[in-house]
Amino acid sequence: MAAIDEVLYPGRARLPGTVNPAVQVRGVTVVYPGGNVGLDNVSLTVERGEFAFLVGATGCGKSTFIRLMIREIDASRGEVLIAGTDVAKLPRKKVPKLRRNIGTVFQDYKLLPNRTVYDNVAYSLQVIGATRASIREKVPEILRLVGLSTKLHDYPDELSGGEQQRVSLARAFVNHPPLLLADEPTGNLDPDTSKGIMQLLYRMNRTGTTVIVATHDADMVDQMRRRVIELSQGRVVRDQRGGQYH
C-alpha cells in the first residue's frame, strides 16, 4: 500500500510501526435514493495483504460495499477509510487517483465498447501516463495470464461473457494496484475457468495485493479457505478466518 499512501498523503511521513489497514469501514449505512438500504451499520477491517471473500445472497450488499470503496456512491452514515484516508472527504480532484490505486473487476465488466481487448486493458495504463513501451510490454503479458492471447484485437461484443470478465480482470490488475476488488469475478464462468481466475487472484494476493472478492460461488470459497465475511440484508452476520461458504 506504499504507493497509495504516497498519493493520498504526498510528502507526509508515516509514524514508524503504524500501518493503516487497507480497508476500514466504521458504522457505514448506505440508503439508496428509493429508500432501499444497501448496507446497514457495517463495521469491518481488512488488513494489508489479506484475501477476503464477501458472501451472501444477491441484494445482500456485496456490490454496494465495492461501489463504496471506489466512491462510486457515498455512505449515508459512517466512514470508509482506504489506507487510512476517509474517501468521503477526498476532494473530487483526487478521486481518479484513488481509483487508479484500486483495481476493480465489475460485475457487468464495464468494458469500453469501442476498443479492442488490447486497448481496453491499455486504457488503465494510459490513464496513469504509462509509456507506450511499457504498455506494449505489460498488456500482452497480463492477457496471456488470463488466457486471452488470441483475442487481442477482438471487440468486447465479439467475446463471450467469461472472456469479457477476464478482460475486466486483466484491466483491473495490469498496473498492479495495492488493492483489488472483484465483484462476482467467476459469475459467468465454467468451473475450470473459474478455478483459473481464482488461482490468478491468489497469485496476485501473494505479490502483496489486498484482495476482496464478492461472490456466491460456494465451491470456490470452500476450496480457498480464506477469510469469509457474510452479509445478509446489509448487515455482517459472520466474519470468519479460514471459513467456508455456509
Partner 1 sequence: MKLGFFLRESLRALRRNAAPSLAAFATVLITTLVLGVFIPVVRAATAKSNEVRNKIELEVFIAPDATKAEERELGNMIRDLQHVDAVTYVSKDQALRILRQRLGDRSDITNDLPGNPLPASYRIKLDDPSNAGAVKSSLEPPAANGEPRPISPAIDEIKDREDDTQKILSATSTIKLIMAGLAGLLILASVLLVANTIRLSIFARRREVEVMRLVGATNWFIRWPFVIEGLIVGFLGALVAALLLWLAKVTVVDPWSDRFALIAAPQTINFTFLIVLLLIAGTAVSALGSGITLRRFLRV
Scanning 105-113, 186-194, 205-213, 237-245 for contacts with partner 1 by CB under 8 A, the matching segment is: 105-113
Q: Minimal CA–CA distance to 39: which of 240, 231, 238, 242? A: 231
Q: Name the minimum Å distance from CB 127 to partner 1.
A: 5
Scanning 19-27, 123-131, 193-201, 221-229 for contacts with partner 1 by CB under 8 A, the matching segment is: 123-131
Contact (CB, 8 A) for 94 and 102: no
Smaller CB separation from partner 1, 56 or 103? 103
Q: Name the minimum Å distance from CB 179 to partner 1.
A: 12
Residues 12, 15, 17, 19, CA torsion sign: negative
Task: Note whether 110 binds partner 1 by CB under 8 A.
Answer: yes
Task: Note whether 128 binds partner 1 by CB under 8 A.
Answer: yes
Q: Name the minimum Å distance from CB 193 to partner 1.
A: 23
Task: Note whether 96 binds partner 1 by CB under 8 A.
Answer: yes
Task: Note whether 126 binds partner 1 by CB under 8 A.
Answer: yes
Q: Binder to partner 1 among 1, 28, 81, 98 (CB under 8 A)?
A: 98
Smaller CB separation from partner 1, 124 or 205? 124
Smaller CB separation from partner 1, 47 or 72? 72
Task: Note whether 10 binds partner 1 by CB under 8 A.
Answer: no
Task: Note whether 70 binds partner 1 by CB under 8 A.
Answer: yes
Task: Note whether 215 binds partner 1 by CB under 8 A.
Answer: no
Q: Which residues bind partner 1 (CB under 8 A)?
A: 70, 72, 93, 96-101, 104, 106, 110-115, 123-124, 126-129, 171
